[in-house]
Structure 1
Amino acid sequence: MSHPGSKSHTSREWVMVCGLGSLGSQCTRALKGYEILVSAVDLTAPATPNALNLDLLVCGDCRQVNVLSQARIKDCRAILLVSDNERVNVEAALAARRLNPEVRLVVRASQQNLSKLLGDYLGNFVAFEPSRLAAPAFALAALNADVLGYFELKSQRQAKDALSSTSKEERGQLLQVIQRTITADDSWLGQKLDQVNTGSYQVLQHLSPQAAKGPGALAQAQTAPPLFHLWQPEQRLQVGDRLVLLTSKNPTDQTHLRSLLQQDKQSPSIQTWPTFAAAYRQLQQGWSKLGRTSRVTLFALTFLLGLILTAIFVFPRNPQNPAWTETLFAALVMVIGGTYADLPPPFSSMALGLRLFSVLLTVTGTVLVGLLYAQLTNWLLTARLRLVRRPPLPRHGHIVLVGLGRLGRQIAALLVEQQQPLVGLEVKMPEDQLLPQLPVVYDSGTTAAGLQQVAIERAHSLLAATSDDLINLEISLLARSLNPGCRLVIRTSDARFSEDVAGLLPFARILCVPVLAAKAFAAASLGENVLALFQLEERTVLVTEYEVTVGDNLHDRLLAEVAYGYSVVPVLHQSPGGSATLCPRYDKGLRLQAGDRLVVLATSSSLQSIEQGTMLPRQWHLTLEQMRPNVDALDVVQVLTRHLDCNLNHAQALLTRLPRVLPQPLYALQAYRLHTALERCGVRTSIRDWKL
C-alpha cells in the first residue's frame, strides 16, 4: 500500500529502490543528491521514513506486479533491486521488465554467470556485488602505502562488464593513483607543478598550506567542494608538500606496484647491512615456507649428519683402530637399526662411551626414518587426493584478515595477487580450494590467545571484515591492546555506527560497505558504467564510463570544459571506430561527439553536476595585451580555437583590436594554459585575479 503523505509528480523521471536495508537506504540518499524523484518498495515501512526523504513509499512485495505499479514503475528510468535476497532481486527484475521494457535494471547479485546471461537476455541490465565494489578500498587501507587506488582500463567491449566478468580476459592498461611527499633530497624539490604534470604523471591534488589559498577559494561556499583541478601550476614544490598523482604502468609488470605497496615495511637496520640482511632474510623466508613436519625432518637430518661425521673421527680411537671407511659403514649400520652382530670384529669390544654413542646413532636414525615415512606419506596423499597445503604463517610485518566471508575472500584475493604477507582468521574451516596460497588459522579472533596465534604483536595491520559490526569492533580493540602500532581497518554496515566508531578510534580506518557501494549503484541507475572506486581524502572517487549521446550534458562540449566545469579527470577518450587515448590533453580542442567513449575520475557530487548540467562558475578573465612583431596570426587563431568555445572567424575577430579582454570567462587552469600557449606564440597576455 502507498505510504500516507506521498507526493505526486508527473513531469520528472523517477528511480525506484526495492529493499530499504542498509544498502537501499544509502542508495536513496545518494539518489536524492541528483535531484530526481525516488520511490521505494519494502515489505515494511522503515522506522524513520522522513529521514530518507522519499517521494513515494509502497509497502509490499516488489515481485508483485500491482506493487510495482503503485510505485510508478512505468514512469521510472531505473529500478535498483538491492534487497539481501538475490532470488527476490532477480524475480523483481523480471517483473519490472514486463511492466516497463525500457527501464534500466540495477541488481544486487553475486552469481556473476547468471548476471551476464540475464544482461544478454533482458538488456539495459547491470549487476553489482557490494563486497566486490568495496574490496579494493579495504585492501589499500590496510597497506599504509603510497598507492591510493588502481584500476584497469580495457577495450570498449571488455569494459562493459568490468565488475562482473568471470572470464580470463586479456588485461588492459593499469592506472594507479599514488601519493608522493616531497623530501629534502627529492628530485622534484623546487620544480613547478606544471613541470611535474607532464609525461608519466598527471597531478590530481597538491596539498600544502599555500595550496589552500589558490583558486580553490571559489568553491568554499559549496557543501561538497570540488576535489580536482585546484592546484596552481606556477607554484614550486617545497619540503613537506604532498602530491596525489595519476600514472600508468604496464599491467604485465607488477614490480613497481608491489614495491610501492611494500616501501613502508623496510627496516632501517636492514638497509644498513644490505648483504648480510639479504642473505639472512632469504634464509628466514625459505625456512618459514617449510611446513612444521618438514622443518622437524630437516633438523633431525642435520643432527644425524653431524653424528655420522662425529662417528668417523670417534670410532678410529677404538683400540683396534679401524679405517675410516669401516667407521662410516659402522655408523650407517647403527643408523638403520643394525646390531653389533652386523659390525666387523673390531667393533665387538668398544669402550662404554662409544657404545653409548652408537645407541644415540640408532635412536636418532629410528626417529629420522619415522619422519621420512611421514613426510613421504604426506606427499603421496597430497598428490593422490590433491589436498591443498597452505603456506606457513607469516611472523612479522604481515596483515591479519579476520573473516573470510564474501568480502574477506575478495580482499584476500587482491592482497595475495600483490604478494603481500597475509594470514586469515576464520571460525569455520574454508574449502580446500579456496585461496590455497592463504595461510589460515581457525579461530574467532575475539580472544588474546586467538590473535596471538597469528602473531598480532608483530603484525603490520589488522582487517576486521566479519559480517558482525560489534565483533569487528571487539577484535579491533583487542588487537590495539596487544599491538598499539598495528594499523586497524574496520568493516561496518551502518553509517551511523561508522561515525560513532570513527569518533572512538580516530586512528583507525572505518569503511562502511553500503556507503561505498551505494554511490556506484546510484550512478549506474542513471546510465553510467562504474568500473571501479577508491578512497581519496575520505571521499569516494568513482571510475565512471560515459557514452556520449546527442542532447546529454556532455555532447558538443570541449573536453577542457567538462574536466574543469564538472571537476572530473578524464582518463580515457575513444571516438567511434578509433583507438583509445589515455589521459587525453585538454588543450587540443577536443570536442565530445555522439558515440564517444569517455572514462573519468569523479566524485558523486561531480556525477550529480553532470546529470543536472550544472557547471562550476568561470571566474578568471584573460586579456590579450599585445602581439609581438612578425607573429603568425594563424598560429594564434589556432591556439584560441583549441582552448575556447569559438570558431575561426570569431578567433580572428578577437585579434583585430588589442588590448582586448576575452568575452567569455575561463576556469583557473584553463586560463593559465591558454596564457602559456599564447605567450609561446608571441602574444602578451594577463590574467585577472590569477597570480603567476
Structure 2
Amino acid sequence: MERPVLLCGLGRVGWRVLDSLRAAGLPVVVIDIKVDPGDPRLAGVTAFKGDCRRHELLEQAGIKDARGVVIVTSDDLVNISTALLARKLNPTARVVVRMFNQNLIARFGGAVKNTVALSVSALIAPVMALTAVTGDTLGAFKLDDGPRQISELVAAADSELIGKRVADLAAEHNFVPLAFVPAHGAPQFLLAVNSDATLSPGDRLIVCGPPLALQKLLERLRGDLLAGVQWASALRRWVRTARRTLLEVDLSVKIITPVLFTTLFMSTLIFRYGVGTAWGDGLYQTVSIIATGGELHGENKPEWVKVFISILKLAGAALIAGFTAILTNYLIRARLGGALEVRRVPDGGHVVVCGLGNVGYRLVQELTTMGERIVAIDKENDGPFFETVRRMGVPVFVGDATVPEVLRQVRADSAKAVIAATSSELGNIEIALLVREMNPKQRVVVRLSEPEFAEAVREAAEIRNAMSVPALAAPAFASALYGDSVQTLVSAVGHTLVVIDLLVNDADDPLNGKSLRAIVLDYALLPVALSGRDLSDTRGYRLKVGDKLTVVAELPDYERLLRLQQPVTASRVVVDAFPPTATGVLATHVRLQRGCTVEEASATMAAVPFVLRDGLTRGEAQELTEQLEREKVVTRIE
C-alpha cells in the first residue's frame, strides 16, 4: 500500500490542498480540531479529530509510515510545534509548513532538515501585483533572470496582430505561446500550438514573457494613453495640496492661527507708522513683546505707546498660550499626518492598495520592486507593517476603504488600479463596487477565498480580476512534497495550466539521466527554462543532479508526473529509407539501439524497411526519429 500524506488543518487553504493531493492520486490522512469524519467531502479520506500537536494522535494517524506531512493551520505556533514533532517522530518524511511570520519563512526551512516553509501571501502577491499593473495577467512566476507573466492577447478586428504568424509575434515580443484559441476551431495547448498559424479577428493567444515587454504590447492593444504616474502642473498640484491640507485642519486651529498673525501684522503697522520704526524693527519688537514680554527700546515713549505695549503683552500671552495648546492637541491626535500625505498622491497612474496585512504588505513590496507608485489605505495606524511601508516612501492613509470619501482622497478613480486586499471578503467586494461606481472602467483586483465565489463575482458583477487566494496557493503545498515547486496555476479556455519547477535532487531522482526531449514529449510539458541554459541548445540533453527545469503543463499531465506514472512503451521506430551519406551514422544507431555487432547491423540495414528499435515511449521514439531526420533518414513511428 502506498505511504500516506498527513494533512494537518482543514481551513480554507487546507481543503484546497486536500483537493490537490487527491488530484495527484495520493492517499491522505487528515487531522483537524473541528473535522467531522462523516463529512461527505472527505469520502475516501481517513480523518482524525483533535489537536495535531498531540504526540499520540500523530502516531495514531500513521506519522511513522507517512511519506510527508503538510501543516496548514492558521496559527504559526501550532504549525511550528507540529512540524518539529513530526520531524522527531519521522526523520525521513518531508514536512511542508504554512507560515505567516515573514522572518521565519526562509529561516525555518533552512534550520530544520527536509522541511519547506511556504507563505500564502508570498505565493499569490506576484500574481495580484502584475494583474494590477498590466490588467491582463492570468498568472505570474519567477525565473533566475527575472519574473514572467502569463497574459491573454486578443486579436480584435483592427488589431496589429491580424495577419501575423504566431512564431513571428513570439520572436518580436519575446514571449512563449502557451495556448492558441482560434475563433473557429479547436484550441491548441503547449506543444500542440501551431507556430505557423496566422492570426485572424477573434483569435486569442495565451502567452508568457517578461512583464515589461508584454505590458507595452498590451497597452498598445488596449489603446492606453495614460500608462505612467500622472502629475498635474506645479501650480495646480500645490493649490490642490493647500486646499486639501486646509480642509483637514481643525476649526479651532483655523480660527486662532489667523487671529495670531493678524495681531502680529497690526502691531507691526502701528510700530512702523505710529512710532516710526523700520518694518523689520517693528516686526522684531512685536514678536519680542508677545513671546518674551520684553520692552520697547528707546526712551521717552509716549503714553499711548505704553498703553499699547501693555495691551499687546496681555493679548500676546493669551494668544501664544491658546495657539500652543490648540496646535499641540491637534498634532497629538495625528490629524496632520493625513493632511500631509495628501500632497504625495499623484493625480493618476498610481496603484491603490487597500489593507496592509500579510498580503497587502507583500503587494507593496512587489509593486515597489516593479517601480510602481503606490498609495496604501489601512484601518489601523498601529499594524505590524504600517511604519515599514511608510519608511519605504509609500503614503499611507488611516481610514476605512469602504468609505467613498477615503477612496476619493487617494484618487482611486484615476489610479492605474485598485487592489482590495483586506482580510474582509465583504469589505473587498464593497471596495470594488464603490470604485467601479466612481469609474466604471477602473481596474480592480479583489482578494477572495472560495473559488466558486470568485468565479461568480467575475461573471455576475463583471469584476474580472476577482482571485481565490487558496486556489492559487494550494498546489504549491502539494508539489513541495516532491521537492518541486508549483509557481502558479492558470485557467485558460476550460483547461488548467500549471507552472512547475522540477528539481533533480539526487542520483536516485526518477528524472536523473532522463532525456529532456523524451520527458517533454511523454508528459506534454512545455519547457521555459533550464538552469540558466539556452533551451534552443538542449538537443540530446539528459537531466542531471542539480538541474532545475521550469515547465508549463496541463494539470492532468502534471498529476501523471507526480504519480511517476510511466508512459506506455509500445512505440517503435521503423526506417523506410536512407541516403548513402547516412550509412555510417545509421549503422551506429542500429548497433546502439539493438545491441548488435557491426555485421548484424549491416545485415539489418540491407533489408529496408526494418525496425530500428521497439519498446519505446512515444517521446523516446519521437526523439530518435528527429535525430535520424537530421541525417535525411526516412522514418516512421508505429
TM-score by length of 1: 0.67
The 5 A counterparts of 1:185-200 are 186=160, 189-191=163-165, 193=167, 196=170, 200=174
**Corresponding residue for 2:516?**
559
Aligned partners of 2:482 and 2:349: how far apart in 1? 43
SS of aligned partner of 1:41: strand
Task: Show CA shifts across 1:474-530 (max 9, x none).
Answer: 222233333222233221123443344344324422211111111101111233244
Report the aligned-residue RMSD: 4.6
Structure-2 change in CA distance of 1:457 and 1:670 (3 Å): farther
Out of 241, 259, 277, the position equivalent to 1:292 is 241
Deviation at 1:75, TM superposition (A): 1.0
Q: How does 1:195-234 map to 2 (within 5 A)?
A: 196=170, 200-209=174-183, 212=186, 227-234=189-196
Partner of 2:32: 42
Match status 1:427 vs 2:379: yes
1:632-689 per-residue CA deviation (whole Å, 9 max, x = no partner) reads: 3345678999xx988898998885544567766999999888777756543456789x
For 2:429 and 2:37, the matched residues in 1 are separated by: 25
**Aligned position for 1:351:** none
Paired residue for 1:361? none
1:134 pairs with 2:124: yes
Equivalent residue of 2:388, what SS? coil
Q: CA deviation at 1:133?
A: 0.7
How has the CA–CA distance of structure 1 residues 583 and 652 changed in structure 2, closer, same or farther, with 3 Å as cutoff?
A: farther
Q: Once the two structures are superposed, what CA deviation does each residue of 1:314-369 show, in whole Å capped at 9, x if it has no partner?
A: xxxxxxxxxxxxxxxxxxx99x979465789xxxxxxxxxxxxxxxxxxxxxxxxx
Q: State the partner residue of 1:223.
A: none
Tell me, what secondary structure is at the counterpart of 1:521?
helix
Which residue number in structure 2 is paired with residue 601 of structure 1? 552
Change (3 A) 1:197 1:637: farther
Distance 1:289 1:560 in 2: 62
What SS does structure 1 have at the residue aligned with 2:58? helix
Instruction: Tell me what 2:17 maps to.
Output: 27
Counterpart contact for 2:572–2:621, Cα < 8 Å: yes
What SS class does the counterpart of residue 581 from structure 1 fall into? Answer: coil
Q: Cα offset for 1:631? A: 3.0
* Cα contact 1:287–1:295 (8 A) shared by 2: no
SS at 1:142 equivalent:
helix
How far residue 465 of structure 1 moved from its aligned partner, in angstroms, is: 1.3
1:434 Cα deviation (Å)? 1.7
In structure 1, what is the equivalent of residue 113 of structure 2? 123
Gaps of 5+ in 1: 1-10, 155-171, 217-226, 249-253, 272-277, 298-332, 345-376, 382-386, 575-579
Contact 2:153 2:218 in 1 (8 A): no
Q: Does the CA contact (< 8 Å) of 1:16 and 1:39 recur in 2?
A: yes
Structure 1 residues 45 and 685: alpha-carbon distance in aligned structure 2, compared to 1, 3 A threshold: closer
* Shift in Å, 1:104: 1.1
Q: Which amino acid aligns with 1:571?
A: V
The aligned residue for residue 303 of structure 1 is: none
Per-residue deviation at 1:122? 2.5
> Structure 2 CA distance, aligned partners of 1:290 and 1:419?
27
TM-fit CA distance, 1:584: 5.6
Shift in CA distance, 255/482, structure 1 to aligned 2, threshold 3 Å = closer
- Alpha-carbon distance in 2 for matches of 1:61, 1:611: 30
Contact 2:503–2:546 (Cα < 8 Å) also in 1? no
Counterpart in the other structure of 1:546: 503
Instruction: Tell me the secondary structure at the aligned position of residue 387 of structure 2.
Output: coil
Distance of aligned partners of 1:486 and 1:94 in 2 relative to their CA distance in 1, 3 Å threshold: same
SS at match of 2:10: coil
C-alpha spacing 1:257/1:502, structure 2 compared with 1 (3 Å): closer
Which stretch of structure 1 is more off in the superposition, 410-419 or 145-154?
145-154
Secondary structure at the aligned position of 1:206 is classed as strand
Q: Residues 130, 285 of structure 1: CA spacing in aligned structure 2 closer, same or farther, 3 A cutoff?
A: farther
Structure 2 matches for 1:45-56, cutoff 5 A?
Answer: 45-46=35-36, 49-56=39-46
Separation of aligned partners in 2, 1:86 and 1:66: 21
Aligned CA distance change for structure 1 residues 674 and 237 (closer, same or farther; 3 Å): farther
> Does the 8 Å CA contact 2:231/2:348 hold for their aligned counterparts?
no
1:103 aligned onto 2:93? yes
- In the other structure, the counterpart of 1:410 is 362
Identify the match of residue 524 of structure 1 among 480, 489, 493: 480
Q: Aligned partners of 1:261 and 1:418: how far apart in 2?
A: 17
Q: What code does the residue aligned with 1:292 have? A: T
Verify the 8 A CA contact 2:523 2:557 in the aligned structure 1.
Answer: yes
1:61 to 2:17 alignment: no
Secondary structure class of the residue paired with 2:177: strand
Instruction: Output one character per residue of 1:190-225: Cα deviation in whole Å (capped at 9) or x when no partner.
Output: 446399579955433223246626xx5xxxxxxxxx
Superposed displacement of residue 607, structure 1 = 3.1
1:394 pairs with one of 321, 342, 346: 346
Matched with 2:84 is 94
* Contact persistence 1:416–1:437 (CA under 8 A): no
What are the within-5 Å matches in structure 2 for residues 421-500 of structure 1?
Answer: 421-429=373-381, 431-435=386-390, 436-500=392-456
Q: Provide the secondary structure at the position in 2 that maps to 1:452.
A: helix
Provide the C-alpha distance between the structure 2 equivalents of 1:646 and 1:595, rounded to a whole number of angstroms.
31
Matched, 1:235 2:225: no
Q: Which residue of 2 aligns with 1:568?
A: 525
Q: Is the contact between residue 36 and residue 49 of structure 2 (CA under 8 Å) also seen in structure 1?
A: no
Paired residues of 1:147 and 1:260 also in contact (CA < 8 A): no
The whole-number CA distance in structure 1 between the counterparts of 2:19 and 2:365 is 31
Q: Which amino acid aligns with 2:129?
A: A
TM-score (norm 2): 0.72
Tell me what 2:461 maps to.
505
Partner of 1:682: 632
Is the contact between residue 8 and residue 30 of structure 2 (CA under 8 Å) also seen in structure 1? yes
Counterparts of 2:136 and 2:593, CA distance in 1: 38
| Equivalent in the alignment of 1:367 | none
Q: State the AA in 1 paired with 2:484.
A: E
Distance 1:501 1:80, change over 3 A: same
> What amino acid maps onto 1:494 in structure 2?
E
Partner of 1:110: helix, strand, or coil?
coil
Tell me, in whole angstroms, the C-alpha distance in 1 between the residues paired with 2:607 and 2:185. Answer: 36
Specify the code of the residue in structure 1 equivalent to 2:46: L
2:126 touches 2:141 (CA, 8 Å); kept in 1? no
Q: Distance in 1 between matches of 2:245 and 2:25?
A: 67
Identity %: 27
Counterpart residue identity of residue 65, structure 1:
H
CA distance in 2, matches of 1:22, 1:498: 14
Q: For residues 597 and 50 of structure 1, do their structure 2 counterparts lie closer, same or farther at Cα, with a shift above 3 Å needed?
A: same
AA matched with 2:535: C
Q: Deviations over 1:97-118 (max 9, x none)?
A: 1211111111111334434443
Rate the CA distance shift 1:479–1:419 in 2: closer, same or farther, 3 A: same
Q: Which moved more, 1:668-677 or 1:40-49?
A: 668-677
Distance 1:397 1:648, change over 3 A: farther
Rounded Cα–Cα distance in structure 2 between residues aligned with 1:441 and 1:520: 34
Matched-pair contact (CA < 8 Å) for 2:573–2:612: yes
The CA deviation at 1:13 is 0.7
Aligned partner of 2:104 among 89, 114, 120: 114
2:351 partner amino acid: I
